[in-house]
Amino acid sequence: MKEIHEKAEYCLNCPTKPCSKGCPLENDIPGFVKKIKEENYKQAYEILLDTTVLQSICGRICPHMKQCRGKCVRGIKGNPVEIGDLEAFIGDMSIENKWNITVNQKVSNKKVAVIGGGPAGLTASAFLRRKGYNVTIYEKHKELGGLLSHGIPDFRLPRDILKATIQKILNLGIQVEYNCELGKDISLENLKKEYDAVLLAFGANTSTKMGIEGEELNGVYGGNELLENNDHPDYKGKIVVVNGGGNTAMDTSRTIKRMGADKVYVVYRRAREQMPAEQKEIDDAMSEGVEFLFQNNIVKIIGDKCVEKIECIKTKLIQAEGESRLKPVNIEGSNYEIPVNYVVMALGSKPEEELLNALNLKLNKWGYIEVDEKNRTSDEKVFCAGDISGEKSTVAWAARSGRNSAESIDEFLK
């Protein structure tokens, strides 16, 4: 408790709130930190409730230095305020003390179906329920959470915290249909007949491929699928290469190393400074024995039926015209090979094409469901939130998209 108060007292309570502007959810950070200073913890929780229902989660896993903490004035000449620790503290206290999520309005007779129980779907459901609507979540797995349950390892997000956070949301009176997948167990057309509005929030979790020779070999996996399905091969004593530079690559490499792999390499075609992963996650992976090959690019996966080795080429970084980010260019003649047993592609994710095509909704040029500024799709009763609409792929941005969608659905139903 003393340590938390020291972290709170370090905050200057800036009237311009640059930290709040850096937060995708626009949490009133100086406001809730001020209440911690005053030891009014429940009021701090209520301030956060205005904008988020995932305090314990975002406080732990958000890329704070790229968001709120990175905008902190204290960071100009020293260390920024540890905003995530303060938010997680309040979230955990709300769980410990059984502080409920407040309901703002009387119950309506209108019904909303939410497809997907990840951060976007959970947030949307909570804000819709607080506005009085009857909400049912349709979840394809046997538990809610989306990438929180099936993408982020428990060493980053403890399962008891996640389950307690989800239960608080469900305690609002939200119904859940588990093991119910869109396109297989339910159809969008039937949902439109039964509900006054439908929100699609099922994410985009199909791993992107490189399009190189050998990707079809046994032993080549997608990082998203490995984490989501928790269906891993036996890594003990094996050599594994993880291709990518984001948090999925960090989570995958650390998970594989913890499962007994002899060597785990992360191959990234740019420099460390350009990795999209949070620096803390990179440091943690390194401290656990994951080896990094920066400015390297996989050009071929070699094997008969199974992966035997990969061919890499070194890269140099150049400033391309019209681009702010340095571009990696292969260095001719720098090719070399690494013997490996498994290769994991963790380059990003995309929607499941077959499902999207079956929904008969307009898609944008990148293959995501097209939405307007109100999260409305080409069907007036159908809204869309999170990764499936091409939203930025962080938990906080997904939650913001869910909250925005709840506002738009409320406006539509009124």
Q: Per-residue pLDDT tens for 116-129? A: 999 999 999 999 99
Phi, psi of 307 (to 5 degrees): -65, 130
Distance between CA atoms of 125 and 120, rounded to whole angstroms? 8
Confidence band of 104 (pLDDT split at 50, 70, 90): confident
- Per-residue burial over 222-256, b if 16 or more Cβ lie within 10 Å, else e, is bbbbbbbeeeeeebeebbbbbbbbbbbbbbbbbbb
* 103 belongs to a structural domain: no
Confidence class for position 390, pLDDT limits 50, 70, 90: confident
Kindly state whether residues 356 and 339 are assigned to the same domain. no
Average pLDDT over residues 242-256: 95
**Is 321 a residue whose pLDDT tops 90?**
no
234 and 342 belong to one structural domain: yes
Question: Is residue 106 assigned to a domain?
Answer: no
pLDDT digit string, tens, across residues 127-185: 999 999 999 999 999 999 998 998 899 999 999 999 999 999 999 999 999 999 999 99
> Is residue 19's pLDDT more than 90?
yes
Which one of 314, 331, 348 terminates a domain? 348
User: What is the structure's pLDDT at 108?
Assistant: 86
Q: Which of 126-130, 223-227, 242-246, 294-298 has the lowest mean pLDDT?
A: 223-227
Q: At 350, is the pLDDT very low, low, confident or very high (cuts 50, 70, 90)?
A: confident
Give the start-end residues of each E strand in 82-186.
111-115, 134-138, 175-177
Residue 11 above 80 pLDDT?
yes
Confidence category of residue 228, pLDDT binned at 50, 70, 90? confident
Is the same domain home to 215 and 325?
yes
Domain membership flag for residue 105? no
Written as six digits, the tokens of 179 are 């093991």
pLDDT of res. 365: 87
| Averaged pLDDT of the chain | 94
Which tokens sit at 96?
A: 């410990």
Note whether residue 14 is domain-resident.
yes
pLDDT number for residue 268: 97
pLDDT > 90? residue 324? no
Torsion of the alpha carbons at 66, 67, 73 and 74, rounded to the nearest 10:
-70
C-alpha 352: how far from chain center: 17
Beta partners for 207?
349
Residue 88 has pLDDT above 90, yes or no: yes
Q: Of 253, 252, 59, 65, which Cα lies nearest the Cα of 161?
A: 59
CA distance 281 to 51: 26
Q: Please choose, from the candidates 333, 336, 344, 286, the residue with its C-alpha nearest in 3D space to the C-alpha of residue 310.
A: 336
- Percent of residues in the chain assigned helix, strand, coil, to nearest 5: 40, 20, 40
Question: Is residue 21 pLDDT above 80, yes or no?
Answer: yes
pLDDT for 413 equals: 96
DSSP code at position 218: B
Task: Answer for the pair 310, 301: CB distance below 8 angstroms, yes or no.
Answer: yes
Q: Is the pLDDT of residue 106 over 80?
A: no
Overall domain count for the chain: 3
Mark whether 255 and 310 lie in a shared domain. yes
Instruction: Answer whether 351's CB lies under 8 Å from 165's CB.
Output: no
What is residue 313's predicted lDDT score, i.e. its pLDDT?
97
Residue 240: name the closest of 345, 340, 346, 347 by CA.
340
**Of 299, 332, 348, the domain-final residue:** 348
Q: Structure tokens of 326?
A: 């340095």
Give the three-state DSSP class for 35: helix
Between residues 290 and 276, the one the model is more confident about: 290
**What residue has token string 């995958």?**
252
- CATH code, domain carrying 32: 1.10.1060.10
pLDDT band at 311 (very low <50, low <70, confident <90, very high): very high
Show the DSSP H helices in 171-265 as ranges.
188-194, 223-229, 247-258
* Domain closes at, from 96, 125, 146: 96
pLDDT band at 278 (very low <50, low <70, confident <90, very high): confident
Residue 386: CATH number of its domain: 3.50.50.60
Q: What is the pLDDT of residue 341?
A: 98
Is 102 within a domain? Answer: no
pLDDT of residue 355: 86
231 and 341 in a single domain? The answer is yes
Could you list the residue range(s) of the whole structural domain that residue 36 is in?
Answer: 2-96
DSSP assignment letter at 326: P
- Measured distance between the N- and C-terminal CA atoms of the chain, rounded to whole angstroms: 45
Residue 312 sits in the same domain as residue 369: no
| H helical segments located in 323-363 | 353-359
Q: Whole-angstrom Cα distance, residue 88 to residue 4? A: 11
What are φ and ψ of residue 337, in 5° steps?
-120, 150
**226, 323: one domain:** yes
Q: Check pLDDT > 90 for residue 91.
A: yes
Beta bridge partners of 176: 137
